Amino acid sequence: MKLWHKVFLCTLALAMLAVFCTSQLLIQQEFSRTVSAETDRSLTEHSFFSAGIFSKLNYRKAGSGQPFLGDGEAESILVQAAADQAGGKGGMAVYRDGVRIASANTPIELRSGSLLESMEQKTLNGEECRTVIEKDGDRYHIVTASLLPIEGEEYELFTVRELTGIYRAREQETRYAQGFLLLFSLVMAAVLSLVIRRLLSPLGRVNRGIGQIARGEYGLRLQESGSREFRELSQNVNTMARSVEENVERIQGIADSRKQFIDNLAHEMKTPLTSILGFADLLRIKRTVSDKQRREYSGVVVEEAKRLQALSGKLMELAVANHAKPDYAELNVDLLFREMGLTMAPLLARRGIRLL
């Protein structure tokens, strides 16, 4: 996988994750505010409904002129309150000792004892209430409950409001967010593809240049353009190419010097060897050799052998001295040519050559 592919996929994934998390956070915050507002509204309505029941009870007491209600009067008032609630949007139910006394518009089954234990306690205007959100299939309801102390008896009052619309609105917003995320990802992918490839195009140029240098084009220099990082990279590559080119030239020079040295060495060794072989051959094939000639021939052989020995010593000195500068000395050219003539005499005589 290419670098721009990795950068593209990582950036796109991070962008989509950020958008998804942000949208879900906003949706959840809005949903929580709406549920909290509906809970407060349910508490207010419950308190209002409870106060209405107590008002009817007090009105009945005032009308009868008795400090206490008669048997069954409290329950009849509760049944009447439920009947009055039947035409409204909300539901209500009243229980005593787990037995339902009155109810109206209750879309869910209210379990008196267990429901109270699972409800969250709230306080409104000094009155303690409990709330819980119940799910019935695909519908949601908020249930509010409180105790009604009437004539020494404790009644449990439940009011119910439906919250299905809020949950469906959240689901719809989530679907909208997912559709937006899909559209955003497509647009983001197109934009990122163009931007990343444009930003990383200098890297491709540098990569191609390095490939050419690796194939032997050491004189190639990269264009130092683009962002600061790419300019520094191009400068470093150019410095590397320049160093490689200098090292190659130096190695080539060393190779040329060695070749020239070997050629010179072969030439220097050829001359004394030719002389030694020539005079040795004369001593071998001539039947009569005067003492003068024998001394002369053997002297040349000895001198040329010493010359080879000296050449070998010089080679050892060069190997040890490495980069030491050589010592130069003046040489008499006439003496050099006389020695050469004497040394090459057998070979020259064989070929009919005479030095003047």
The domains located in the chain, with CATH, are: 3-176 (3.30.450), 269-350 (no CATH)
| pLDDT mean values, one per 10 residues, the chain (356 residues) | 81 89 92 91 86 81 69 75 68 81 71 60 70 84 85 82 89 91 90 84 80 81 76 83 84 82 76 78 74 78 80 70 62 72 68 71
R_g of the chain computed on alpha carbons: 57
Give the type of residue at 101. Answer: I
Strand partners of residue 136 = 139
Contacts of 327-334 with C-beta under 8 Å, sequence gap 24+, read none
> Structure tokens of 92?
């209500």
Question: Could you tell me if 74 and 57 are in contact, meaning their C-beta atoms sit under 8 angstroms apart?
Answer: yes
Give residue 27's pLDDT: 92
3-state secondary structure of 159: strand
CA distances from 341 to 9, 27, 49, 284, 346 (A): 86, 111, 143, 21, 9
Closest CA to 132 of 46, 28, 52, 54: 46
Q: Give the distance from CA 162 to its chain's centroid.
A: 49
Nearest in space to 207 (alpha carbons), one of 3, 8, 1: 3
| Tokens at 77, concatenated | 């008032």
* CA quadruple 11, 17, 18, 22: dihedral, nearest 10: 160
